[in-house]
Amino acid sequence: MSRPFPPLRDELRGIEPYGAPQMSHEQAPVQLNVNENPYAPSDALAASLATAISTVAADLNRYPDREFVALREELAGYLNTSGGSGITPRMVWAANGSNEVMQQLLQAFGGPGRTALSFAPTYSMYPEYARNTLTEWTVGHREEDFGLDLERARALIEDVRPALVLLPSPNNPTGTALPPEAVSMLCEAVGDGGLLVVDEAYGEFRRSGTPSALELLPHHRNLVVTRTMSKAFALAGARLGYLAADPAICDALRIVRLPYHLSATTQATASVALSYVDELLAHVDDLRVERDATVTWLRGQGLDVADSDANFVLFGRFADRHAVWQGLVDRGVLIRETGPDGWLRVSIGTADEMAAFRSALTETMTQTQQAEQTQQMEESR
């Protein structure tokens, strides 16, 4: 049997690697496309990071602590102030971004003959973890308002018997959070034969009154809640994601993780960031205010806007969303063409960046309306 070179797995042939379009800051000075936190580390935080890294540097000939004991302890402490209670270090696991955490979950609990399930529209990486781990992939659907019909969701779970259900709350790209009764009901529907993974990558941005699934950990041993430092902690470049779950689940992940997967510099970086939590979460409050103002402004323009508990907003609906996206790019503002047809997603930036977004969108919408009117006039002639 001859294979074409390179001898890639057949099902990976012709597949494009995942990635949002990236543009340079010259091309698009206002970057609101990948839900990054716009606030760079303060000088004080950057200096503390440099000190910690230089301490670690003196020991880089050695492998890091494979079980990252100190960091697990600090992460548990933080989670107990962020919706959780009674979370111990043995209930915490971490890896290089929550994407790696979730792929490890599929490696350990998915695999051939098992199914992972989610509800669209949702995060586009989930089917990729399934493909990478040879796990079957099934997708149900969200309702018109991007929420879940719990009866339909339960029926699908009972029919498919998934090993994993992946549910972001708040959901990307819609910003929709799950009500707590949904988490409990779905944990029960999944049963001990599977895990419900609530991906709280945007958990810290939730509106007041929206609870975290962390609160439900004591009641459901098949519940896994993932978090990341990429969004609220403004550390997307450091790559640190983590989860809280039953200690038996964390132990199972140690079987599939690669040796010393969490570098000494990553562990030190995350640990310093946790000591700056108050400063970092103050920016989260600013972003939540800016998010709510953006939702109100977009609605004021007569647009449809999904309620958002995240640091981004999904809005529409445009007959030609690509034209609107392009109009913004032409004015130096990069947002994301994602979600259901006709919708666009904007990440929340600083007040200045959002002002640039508003004026670019206003100009673009005026321009497209004029173009449509001209076209209608020509057609009626």
Ligand X SMILES: *Cc1c(COP(=O)(O)O)cnc(C)c1O
Catalog residues that contact ligand X under the rule CB under 6 A.
Answer: 35, 97-99, 123, 168, 172, 199, 201, 228, 230-231, 236, 241
| Coil vs helix vs strand at 209 | coil
Q: Which is nearer to ligand X, 199 or 309 (CB)?
A: 199
**193/111 Cα distance (integer angstroms):** 14
Q: Which is nearer to ligand X, 228 or 308 (CB)?
A: 228
Structure tokens at 33: 């496309």
By C-beta, is 104 or 364 nearer to ligand X?
A: 104
CB 314 within 8 A of CB 327: no
Phi first, then psi: what are they for 84, rounded to 5°? -95, 165
Residue nearer to ligand X on the CB measure, 283 or 331: 283
> Least distance from C-beta 136 to ligand X, angstroms?
21
Q: How far is the CB of 171 from ligand X (least distance, A)?
A: 7
Instruction: Considering the complex, state which of residue 332 and residue 340 has its C-beta at the smaller distance from ligand X.
Output: 340
DSSP states along 35-65: ---S-PPPHHHHHHHHHHHHHHHTTTTSPP-
318 three-state secondary structure: coil
Q: How far is the CB of 103 from ligand X (least distance, A)?
A: 10
Q: Minimum distance between the CB of residue 336 and ligand X, rounded to whole angstroms?
A: 11
Closest distance of CB 236 from ligand X, Å? 6
Nearer to ligand X, 87 or 238 (CB): 238
Q: Does an H or E element contain 206, and which?
A: none
Please check whether residue 229 is in contact with residue 270, taking contact to mean a CB–CB distance below 8 angstroms.
Answer: yes
Q: Select 142 or 297, whichever has its Cβ closest to ligand X.
A: 142
> Measured from the CB of residue 230, what is the shortest distance to ligand X in angstroms?
3
d(CA 22, CA 229): 21
- Using Cβ positions, the residue closest to ligand X within the complex turns out to be 97
Q: Pick the closer one to ligand X by CB: 231 or 321.
A: 231
CB-nearer residue toward ligand X: 228 or 271? 228
Burial class (CB in 10 A: 0-12, 13-18, 19+), 364: buried
Nearest-approach distance from CB 207 to ligand X, in angstroms: 18
Q: What's the rounded Cα separation, in Å, for the pair 17 and 40?
A: 28
How far apart are CB 174 and ligand X at their closest, in Å? 11
Phi-psi region of 287 (alpha: psi -120 to 50; beta: other; left: phi over 0): alpha
Q: Which of 233, 239, 167 is nearest to 199 (CA)?
A: 167
Q: Compute the distance between CA of residue 77 and CA of residue 73 in angstroms, rounded to an integer.
A: 6
Beta carbon of residue 61, minimum distance to ligand X (angstroms, whole number): 28
DSSP state of 304: E
Inter-residue contact 183 to 214 (CB < 8 Å): no
Residue 111 contacts residue 255 (beta carbons within 8 Å): no
